[in-house]
Amino acid sequence: MKKETLKTLVVLLILCAVIAATCYYRAHPKEKVITPEDNSEFVNLTDAVPDAILEIRYFGTYNFVGARIDGYKAPVALLTRVAADSLRAVSDDVMKQGYRLKIYDAYRPQEAVDHFVRWAEDVADTLMKPYFYPDLDKSVLFAQDYIAEKSGHTRGSTVDLTLFDMQTEKELDMGGTFDYFGPESHPDFGGNPETGEYAPAKGITAEQFAHRMLLRQAMLRHGFKPFDSEWWHFTLKDEPFPDTYFTFPVKPIR
C-alpha cells in the first residue's frame, strides 16, 4: 500500500472515530452530579409561586424549640425547581377558590435537623411545651417519630403549608396548629381522608375537617403525597433527589 493511501486511510479512520464519539456524547450527555452543598436545582419559592405568603417559623422563635433554628439565615422558602412548579399549579388551583397558600417551611438543611435532635435529647428544655406538646412527655419524641435524624424536607421537595382565606384575610381554621405534637395533627383525626367523610371527634369540627380536606385534595391533584401524621406536610411524589440530604443554608438564591 502506498504511503499516501495509508495516510488517507488513517485520517479517515480518525475522522470517523471523532464523528462517532461526538454522536455518542450528544445522545448520552454526561449527567450533572448533584452534591449536598449544591443549590443549583433549587429556587426561591416566591419566585415560582408569587402569591404565596411566608411565615417561616424556624427563622423566628415561635416554634417548638423556642429559638431560631440553625441553618435558617433568612425568612425565605426554597424548593427544588420541579416541586416549586407543581406548587405553582396548586396555588393557581386554590386561588380560583378564593384562597392563597401560606408556607411555614420548605427545604430544611441537615444542620437544622441536627439542631432538632440536640433539642430533643435535652429533655429538661420544655420552654414551648404548653404550645406544641402539652400532652406529651418530651422523652417520647424520638420513640413516637416526632423527631428523627433525617427529614424529607432536607431532600428539597417537601413543604409545610396551610390555606389563607382571601375574603376573611385569615388562615382557614384547620382545628390545630402547625407543628403540634399529637393525634390531633393526623389527617385522619376527625374523619377518613381517603373519602373525605367526617367522623365526629373531640376537638375538631366538620368545618375544620373539611378545610383540611380542601388543602389535601388540592395538593394531591398536582402531584404531592400526604404524610400520615401531619395535615400540613406534603412531598412531591416524583421528587428529583430522593436519596440526597442537602446541607446548604436557607437564604435567598441569587
What are the catalytic residues? Answer: 230
Question: Do 210 and 198 touch, CB atoms closer than 8 A?
Answer: yes
Span between the terminal Cα atoms of the chain, in Å = 63
CA distances from 245 to 34, 116, 190, 204 (A): 11, 15, 34, 35
Write the CB contacts of 189 (distance below 8 Å, at least 6 apart in sequence). Answer: 175, 176, 183, 201, 204
Rg of the chain over Cα atoms, rounded to whole angstroms, equals 24
Q: Phi/psi of residue 205, each to 5°?
A: -95, 170
Positive/negative CA dihedral, 102, 44, 239, 223: positive
Q: Which strand (E) or helix (H) includes residue 10?
A: helix 3-27
Contact present, 208 and 190 (Cβ < 8 Å): yes
Q: Which residues of 126-155 are buried (b: 16+ CB within 10 A; e: fewer)?
A: eebbeebbeeeebeebeeeebbeeebbbbb
